[in-house]
Amino acid sequence: MRAFHMSWFAFFLCFFGWFGIAPLMPVIRSELHLTKEQIGNSAIAAVAVTILVRILMGWLCDRIGPRRAYAGLLILGSLPVMAVGLAHDYQTFLFFRLAIGAIGASFVITQFHTSVMFAPEIVGTANATVAGWGNLGGGVTQFAMPLLFTLFMSWRLAMLTTGIALLLTGIVYYLLTQDTPDGDWRTLDRVKTKSAFLEACRDPRVWALALLYGMSFGIELTVDNFAALYYTDNFHLSLKMAGLVASLFGMMNLFARALGGIVSDRCNRRWGLRGRATLLGFTIAAEGVAMMVFSKMRALPLAIAAMMLMGLFVKISNGANYSIVPFINRRALGGVAGIVGAGGNAGAVLAGFLFKTASLTWSQAFLILGIVILASAPAAFLLRFEEQPAMSHQLPAEALATAAD
C-alpha cells in the first residue's frame, strides 16, 4: 500500500505540473502574444514527446524496476517545470512545454508498479484507482493554478513551486518504496527475455488497446488542454470561473476511473477477460455519443452537464482499458503498458491538430472527435484472449522457467 499511495501521489503531481500551464493560457496568451495556431502547437507539444517517453519508461521498468525509473523521471522532469518561467517568447515557451511533456510518462510507471503489487482478482481496481487519483491532478490544477497565480501575481512563480514539489517527491519515492512485494527488482530471480518488448510490439491486441486508449485518455488530455480556453472564448467566463468549470471534468477522476476498474473486475469474475473487453467497447461508444452532444451545447449549464457525462465515460473507459493491460503479456508488462499509454498521447496529438485548424471552430472539432470515438468502439469487441495468465511475480522461479518454455 505504500507503493500504491506514493505512486498515485507522484502521478498526481506529475499531472498537476504537466497541465499546470493550461488554465493559465489566457494570461500567457496575452503576455506572449500567442496566436490560435501557436496555442495549438504548444498543446500538441505538451503531449507529443510523451509518446516516446512512455514507450521508453515501459522498457525501463522491465529493466530496472519501477522505483528507480519513477525517482529518476520525477527528478529530471521537475527541471523544465521550474524552467518554463524563463520563457519570454513563443519559441522558448514551446521548447519548455515540449520538455514538460516527459513527466506524462509517469503514468506507465504508476500502472506497472501497481500491476506487480496486486493480485489478478483486484488488479483492475488497483490500477484504475491509482491512475484516477493521479489524473485528479488534471482537475485540481484547473482551479489551483489560477489561485497560485493570484497569490504570487505570476504564472512563472506558480510553475516554479510545482517543479520544486516534483523534485522533492522524486527523492521521497526512491527512499520509501520498493519494486515488488518480494523486494528490490535487481535482486529478484526473474525470467528475462530480450525479445519481450518485441513480443508486445507484435501482438495486435496491444495496438487495439492503444487505439482505444487514444480514444479515451487522449480525449481527456485534449479536454484538459482546451477546456479553460473553450469556456473563456465561447461563454465569456473569467479566468477563475473558466478554470473552475474546466476542473469539474478532471475532478471526476476522484471516482470515475476507479469505477471503471471495479466494474471491470466484476465483469471478469462473471465472464472472464471477454467481460472486461465488452465493458470497454460499450463505454467507448457511450463516450463518443456524449462528445457529440457536448459539441452542440450552447447554453452554459447544458454544456457543463454534457461535459460531465462525457467525462464519466472517458474515465470509466480509461480504467477498463488498464484492467486488461496486465493480462496481455506478463513477461513484457512494461512494454505493453508503455505502448498502450503512448497510444493515449498519440490520440491527443492527432486531436490537437483539429483544434489548431483555422477553418474549424472548436465546437466542430469536438463533433468530429465524437464521431471518430464512436467509430473506434468495435475494436474492443474484436479482442481475443486465451486462458488468463498468472501474475509472474507470484510464481516461484521453477514455475516461471516452465512457463517461459
What DSSP assignment string belongs to 218-273?
HHHHHHHHHHHHHHHHHH---HHHHHHHHHHHHHGGGTHHHHHHHHHHHHHHHHTH
Joined together, the cell numbers standing for residue 290 give 456524449
Q: Which residue has the cell 470509466?
A: 316
Cα angle 189, 191, 197; round to 5: 135
CA nearest 115: which of 341, 279, 312?
A: 341
Between CA 20 and CA 38 the distance in angstroms is 18
Identity of residue 126: A
Q: Which residue has the cell 520525477?
A: 74
Strands, E assignment, 5-121: none
CATH class, domain 2-178+194-385, is mainly alpha
Residue 358: strand, helix, or coil: coil
Give residue 169's Cα distance to chain centre.
19
Q: What is the pTM of this model?
A: 0.79
CA nearest 27: which of 160, 164, 150?
A: 150
The answer to whether 253 touches 335, Cβ cutoff 8 Å, is no
Residue 183: strand, helix, or coil: strand
The answer to whether 331 touches 193, Cβ cutoff 8 Å, is yes
pLDDT of the chain, 405 residues: tens digit per residue: 889 999 999 999 998 998 888 888 888 888 899 888 898 888 888 888 888 999 999 889 888 999 999 999 999 999 999 999 888 999 999 999 999 999 989 989 998 999 889 988 888 888 889 988 888 887 788 888 888 888 888 889 999 999 999 999 999 999 999 998 888 888 875 555 556 788 888 999 999 999 999 999 999 988 987 888 889 888 988 878 888 898 889 888 888 989 999 999 999 999 998 999 999 999 999 999 999 999 999 999 999 999 999 999 999 999 999 899 988 888 888 889 999 999 998 998 899 888 888 888 889 999 999 999 999 999 998 888 765 444 444 433 433 333 333
Phi–psi pair at 267, nearest 5 degrees: -65, -35
Between CA 243 and CA 318 the distance in angstroms is 23
Spans of all domains in the chain: 2-178+194-385
Between CA 281 and CA 317 the distance in angstroms is 8
Letter string b/e over residues 300-328, b meaning 16 or more CB atoms within 10 A of that residue's CB: eeebbebbbbbbbbbbbbbbbbbbbbbbb
The answer to whether 16 touches 324, Cβ cutoff 8 Å, is no
Strands, E assignment, 57-133: none
